[in-house]
Structure 1
Amino acid sequence: MNVQFINPFLESFLNVINTMATLQLTPSRPQIKLDEVARGDVSGLIGMVGPQVKGSLSITFEEQLACKVMQNMLGEAPEELNEEVTDMVGEITNMVAGGAKKILGEQGFEFDMATPVVVAGKDHHIAHICTGKKLIMPFNSIFGKAYIEICFEK
């Protein structure tokens, strides 16, 4: 797994959450993920295809953290996941992928992005579009956890 491809996504995620939701997330230790079960309650998934790379990115939030991000970004304070929260997760996924695309583009890597898909519910599954290893990176906050999963074709 190439760190040169992964770090822009992590950097972009922290930037989006810090800038848009004024929240600080603390990265934890990355691991290889062997299953498709999401670690949180709502996930945005986006595919990326280009001449040098094919892969997908998912961003998953635990319910409490997703609601807090919604409150900080839009001033609405939902008590549980709803359509507005799932829409916001899709937008965050799009912003993160777009930020990483900009960083990677400056390094000579180009790719197109699909429209994000959002899935919610306990123990929902995340099906990445490629067969490479899946890296999962947990992020901690006082409001709960978020997870980034990145998978690139071998």
Structure 2
Amino acid sequence: MNSEFINPFIIALLNVIETMAQTKLTPGKPQKKGNNQAGGDVSGLIGMVGDDIKGSLSISFEESLVLEIMHKMLGEKPEGINSDVNDMVGEITNMICGGAKNDLDQKGYNFGMATPMIVSGKNHTIDHQVDGKKMVMPFTHPSGNLYLEMCFNK
């Protein structure tokens, strides 16, 4: 995976979280990923398909961070992950992918986006269903961690 393709997703993630939740994340070091174990407790997963590209993106939040983001975005702080938190994670996933898509469209990468799926629970797994290398990039915050995973066929 090349940085020209990955960076728009990282930039969109940082922008959405900072703009919508007034939360600054600290990026970690990207790593190859060899398993399907999610890093967080709730994940948004979205597929992308174009003429010459197929991939998927997941954003996995630790419970403490996603509850803090919900509090900052909506003024609510539930006691745990519930359907409202899941809906918010789906919207965040959609906004991040949409932001990156706009940037990539200008670079000649055209693809459509599926509706985000949400998976939650301790030790859940994410199956990207794309033949390609998986990359995970961790982000840290005093309230918890977030993991951006990408898998593309190119």
2:143 aligned partner, one-letter code: F
1:139 aligned partner, one-letter code: F
Aligned to 1:103: 103
1:6 aligns with 2:6: yes
Distance 1:143 1:124 in 2: 20
2:8 aligned partner, one-letter code: P
Task: Give the SS at the match of 1:99.
Answer: helix
Distance 1:52 1:8 in 2: 18
Aligned to 1:93: 93
2:12 aligned partner, one-letter code: S
1:64 aligned partner, one-letter code: S
Task: Give the SS at the match of 2:48.
Answer: strand
Aligned to 1:78: 78
1:52 aligns with 2:52: yes
Q: Could you say what the CA RMSD is over the residues aligned between the two structures, in angstroms? A: 0.7
Aligned to 1:150: 150
Task: Give the SS at the match of 1:148.
Answer: strand
User: By how many angstroms is 1:51 displaced?
Assistant: 1.2
Task: Give the SS at the match of 2:123.
Answer: coil
Distance 2:129 2:9 in 1: 17
Distance 1:142 1:37 in 2: 23
Distance 1:27 1:48 in 2: 24
Distance 1:94 1:30 in 2: 22
TM-score, structure 2 length as denominator? 0.98
TM-score, structure 1 length as denominator? 0.98
CA deviation map 1:88-144 (0-9, x unaligned): 001100000000000001111110000000000011010002011100000000000
Which aligned runs of 4 or more in structure 1 are off by greater than 6 angstroms? none
Identical pairs, percent: 58
CA deviation map 1:18-55 (0-9, x unaligned): 00000000000110010001011000000000013110
Aligned to 1:138: 138
Aligned to 1:32: 32
- 1:15-26 alignment, distance < 5 Å: 15-26=15-26
Distance 2:52 2:60 in 1: 26
* Alignment size in residue pairs: 154
User: By how many angstroms is 1:63 displaced?
Assistant: 0.1
1:88 aligned partner, one-letter code: M
In structure 1, stretches of 5+ residues that fail to align are: none
